[in-house]
């Protein structure tokens, strides 16, 4: 008899190309679809180009432009042109700047239940909302997948998040994922996949499911997934894509490694307080707090359902005088619908600033709040300084809480005067005119010319790992260092395609001298080493947080723990991801210390264990590596291994 399978097992077993989940440390899975966005895409495609493959080998690859949309100077526009020309040549669908945010668009127009999606953005798991196994990764992993290669993950542990009951009016999906974050936090979830099950699933529409899987990224899990059921079918049919539907639900008696029950009817409005998405409190506990800014949108909460709900709260009313409100919709489809049903006029009349349908404020690329402001935002990350204003206090909330608070300029409970639920549209208006090269998808246009402006610099390649290393601790950082600390975005984002230029800003928020120190050590023939605490590399998929350090001569990280995507990026760029065998040894290293890694190459070839000598004595470190990872590190990274 066939063993009962959960949704994760069903999809992964149908895509397994390497490894045995019962005994191997790593599984290789076939990738059906890829997505990139512009800020990570240029590097991904430069790397893909160097793989010398004539066209993409996936079922579908889409290149979105949504991050660097503000064109001050030539850099971003140059990147867009480069991306468009690459898409034409290699058979990639190109989503023009202005079309919308990659995750919202992909869900609307391309995501398919039961398939795998790999995206160079950590919020790719949004696709889990329609039953895709959708995973975020570094750009070079996307390049490999586009070239037909497998993607590697450790055999996942699957936790069932059992949903019961129904949400109360004024409470929504954002509150549910914040509840899950309250329980599991932002660290310690590496290697897990969260699968949503139970009778409550049927009460959530697809946009709500996608909000939950989107922000699962903040847990640090590999991905999150919902079953594909009648609700999914209705959504796909309304998008004119019922042929893409496949029913994927867990078998009766399917097993999970763990479970957590959420009674939806008991969920209260929640918020994440500064400066971590895991710092979850109830809205009630902050009721009355004066607010200076409210930002609504981002890939977490920019669907028609979300923005229409905001319009219903604001109908016939005006936002408070002391508060500025900005709204960025997820896609042109969303804007079209809001225009047709009068919501756009309501929002304008209410005094909201309607922004471009792009990432914008979420990544500190628009509407940074004033000094010391309290900003309520519906996006997914509130790391210190990410808004572009270091002193800002950013709280993450649902669209309902944001709207209710906009009216008074204070934190308000959205459950006090809730609005009616927005019904799932029977038919979404479809306009795919800003998706280019659909006709040549998978085929490409032979001889198409690649356009390369001066902002596009070649990708640096790593060098093989030396036998021994003499190094220096170039920086010592604490716990929960995010990729926004390592490689800031916002104003620096326009240098994404130019590594020597972008590398000047590595660790800018922690130590602006990091770049110069690294260069000085490099000149002295010393390898640079980063020492960190727990959960190093939280947050984004940006491989620049490994690529730029590699460029600065960083050869090893020693941390108490390292998050999944960042760890994979370190390996891809030839930086050894060591962990302290005894976390207390963290205290024995200081910035500037000379560190000796005698026999590092042999250690990587062997069991990954090594004794490091420092001024306060020797301590032991360990990197648990698969054979594939060992090979990449010995070569100096993935590109150097080709
Ligand atoms: C983010 O939300 O931090 C980003 C910007 O979308 C990143 C990708 C990037 O750094 O370009 C992500 O989430 O992976
Ligand atoms: Fe864009 Fe923000 Fe989503 Fe990242 S989290 S993809 S910056 S909207």
Would you list the DSSP string of 108-142?
Answer: HHT--TT-EEEESSTTGGGGGGGT-EEEE--HHHH
Mutate to test the pocket of ligand 2, among 125, 217, 299, 302 (most ligand atoms within 8 A of CB): 299
Give the pLDDT of residue 1.
66
> How many of the other CB atoms lie within 10 Å of CB of 49?
15
Strand 576-580 relative to strand 617-622, pairing: antiparallel
- Per residue in 368-395, pLDDT (tens digit) is 999 999 999 999 999 999 999 999 999 9
Strand 16-18 relative to strand 27-29, pairing: antiparallel
Structure tokens at 635: 């070569």
User: How crowded is the C-beta side of 437, counted as CA atoms within 13 Å?
Assistant: 27
Whether the CB-CB separation of 483 and 537 falls below 8 Å is answered with yes
Residue 131: CB partners within 8 Å, gap ≥ 6? 7, 11, 113, 114, 225, 226, 227, 228, 232, 246, 248
User: How crowded is the C-beta side of 179, counted as CA atoms within 13 Å?
Assistant: 22
pLDDT < 70 stretches in the chain: 1
Structure tokens at 99: 């079309």
DSSP state of 59: S
Residue 185 CA to residue 198 CA, distance in Å, equals 22
Residue 569 CA to residue 562 CA, distance in Å, equals 11
Distance 362 CA to ligand 1 centre (A): 9
Distance 164 CA to ligand 2 centre (A): 30
Closest Cα partner for 291 from 397, 205, 206, 199? 397
- For 224-234, b/e burial (b = at least 16 CB within 10 A) is bbbbbbebbbb
Residues with CB under 6 A from ligand 2: 67, 101, 121, 123, 298-299, 359, 362-363, 379-380
Give the pLDDT of residue 620.
98
Q: Classify residue 381 as left (phi > 0), alpha (psi -120 to 50) or beta.
A: beta
Give the pLDDT of residue 78.
95
Structure tokens at 610: 């090594």
> How many of the other CB atoms lie within 10 Å of CB of 445?
16
Q: How is 422-467 classified by DSSP, letter by letter?
A: PPPPSS-----TTEE-STTTTT--TTPPPP--TT-PPPP---PPPS
Mutate to test the pocket of ligand 1, among 70, 104, 122 (most ligand atoms within 8 A of CB): 122
User: Which atom of ligand 1 is found nearest the CA of 541?
Assistant: 14
User: What 3-state class would DSSP assign to 22?
Assistant: coil
The CB of 267 under 6 Å from ligand 1? The reply is: no
Which ligand sits nearest to residue 101's alpha carbon? Answer: 2
Q: How far is CA 188 from CA 221, 339, 543, 563, in A?
A: 9, 44, 21, 9
What is the rounded radius of gyration, in angstroms, for the C-alpha atoms of the chain? Answer: 24
Distance 362 CA to ligand 2 centre (A): 6
User: What 3-state class would DSSP assign to 230?
Assistant: helix
User: What 3-state class would DSSP assign to 145?
Assistant: helix
Between 206-215 and 230-238, two packed helices, what is the crossing angle to 10 degrees? 110
Structure tokens at 139: 């750009």
Residue 64 CA to residue 105 CA, distance in Å, equals 9
Q: H or E element: which one contains 589?
A: none
What is the phi/psi pair of residue 263, to 5°? -85, 105
The CB of 126 under 6 Å from ligand 1? The reply is: no
- Count the residues in the chain: 642
> How many of the other CB atoms lie within 10 Å of CB of 204?
23
Distance 98 CA to ligand 2 centre (A): 15
Residue 124: CB partners within 8 Å, gap ≥ 6? 35, 103, 117, 118, 134, 135, 136, 137, 223, 541
Which ligand sits nearest to residue 493's alpha carbon? Answer: 1
Q: How far is CA 497 from CA 67, 144, 609, in A?
A: 13, 19, 36
Residue 77: CB partners within 8 Å, gap ≥ 6? 71, 453
Distance 321 CA to ligand 1 centre (A): 33
């Amino acid at each position: 008899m066939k063993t009962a399978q959960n949704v994760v097992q069903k999809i992964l077993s149908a895509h397994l190309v390497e490894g045995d989940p019962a005994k191997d440390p790593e599984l290789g899975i076939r990738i059906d679809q890829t997505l990139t966005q512009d800020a990570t895409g240029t590097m991904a495609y430069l790397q893909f180009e160097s793989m010398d493959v004539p066209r993409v080998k996936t079922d579908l690859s889409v290149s979105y432009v949504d991050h660097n949309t503000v064109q001050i100077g030539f850099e971003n526009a140059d990147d867009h042109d480069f991306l468009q020309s690459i898409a034409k040549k290699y058979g990639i669908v190109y989503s023009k700047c202005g079309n919308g945010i990659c995750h919202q668009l992909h869900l609307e127009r391309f995501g398919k239940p039961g398939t795998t999606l790999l995206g160079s953005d950590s919020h790719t798991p949004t696709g889990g909302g329609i039953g895709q196994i959708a995973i975020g990764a570094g750009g070079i992993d996307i390049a490999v997948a586009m070239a037909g290669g497998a993607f590697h993950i450790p055999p996942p542990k699957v936790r069932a998040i059992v949903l019961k009951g129904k949400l109360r009016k004024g409470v929504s999906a954002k509150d549910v994922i914040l509840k899950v974050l309250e329980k599991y936090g932002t660290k310690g979830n590496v290697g897990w996949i969260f699968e949503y099950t139970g009778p409550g699933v049927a009460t959530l529409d697809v946009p709500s499911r996608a909000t939950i899987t989107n922000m699962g990224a903040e847990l640090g899990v590999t991905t999150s997934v919902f079953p594909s059921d009648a609700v999914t079918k209705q959504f796909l049919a309304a998008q004119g894509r019922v042929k893409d539907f496949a029913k994927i639900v867990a078998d009766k008696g399917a097993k999970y490694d763990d479970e957590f029950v959420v009674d939806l009817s008991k969920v209260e409005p929640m918020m994440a307080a500064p400066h971590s998405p895991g710092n979850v409190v109830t809205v009630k506990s902050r009721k009355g707090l004066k607010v200076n800014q409210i930002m609504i949108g981002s890939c977490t909460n920019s669907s028609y359902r979300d923005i229409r709900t905001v319009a219903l709260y604001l109908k016939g009313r005006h936002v408070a005088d002391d508060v500025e409100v900005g709204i960025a919709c997820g896609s042109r489809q969303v804007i079209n619908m809001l225009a047709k049903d009068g919501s756009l006029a309501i929002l304008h009349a209410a005094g909201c600033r309607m922004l471009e349908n792009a990432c914008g404020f979420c990544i500190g690329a628009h509407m940074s709040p004033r000094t010391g402001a309290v900003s309520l935002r519906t996006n997914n990350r509130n790391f210190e300084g990410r808004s572009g204003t270091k002193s800002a206090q950013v709280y993450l909330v649902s669209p309902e809480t944001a709207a209710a608070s906009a009216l008074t300029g204070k934190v308000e409970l959205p459950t006090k005067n809730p609005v009616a639920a927005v019904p799932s549209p029977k038919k979404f208006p479809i306009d795919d005119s800003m998706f280019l090269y659909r006709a040549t998808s998978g085929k490409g246009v032979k001889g198409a010319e690649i356009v390369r402006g001066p902002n596009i610099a070649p990708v640096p390649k790593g060098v093989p790992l030396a036998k021994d290393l003499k190094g220096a601790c170039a920086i010592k950082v604490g716990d929960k260092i995010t990729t926004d600390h390592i490689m800031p975005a916002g104003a620096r984002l326009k240098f994404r395609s130019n590594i020597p230029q972008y590398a000047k800003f590595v660790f800018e928020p922690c130590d602006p001298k990091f770049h110069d120190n690294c260069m000085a050590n490099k000149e002295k023939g010393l390898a640079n080493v980063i020492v960190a605490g727990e959960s190093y590399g939280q947050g984004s998929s940006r491989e620049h947080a490994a690529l730029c350090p590699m460029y600065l001569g960083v050869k090893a990280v020693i941390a108490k723990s390292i998050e999944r995507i960042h760890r994979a990026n370190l390996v891809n760029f030839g930086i050894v991801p060591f962990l302290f065998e005894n976390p207390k040894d963290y205290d024995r290293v200081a910035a500037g210390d000379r560190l000796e890694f005698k026999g590092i190459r042999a250690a990587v070839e062997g069991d990954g264990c090594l004794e490091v000598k420092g001024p306060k004595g020797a301590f032991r470190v360990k990197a648990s590596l698969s054979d594939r990872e060992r090979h990449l590190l010995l070569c100096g990274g993935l590109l150097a291994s080709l």
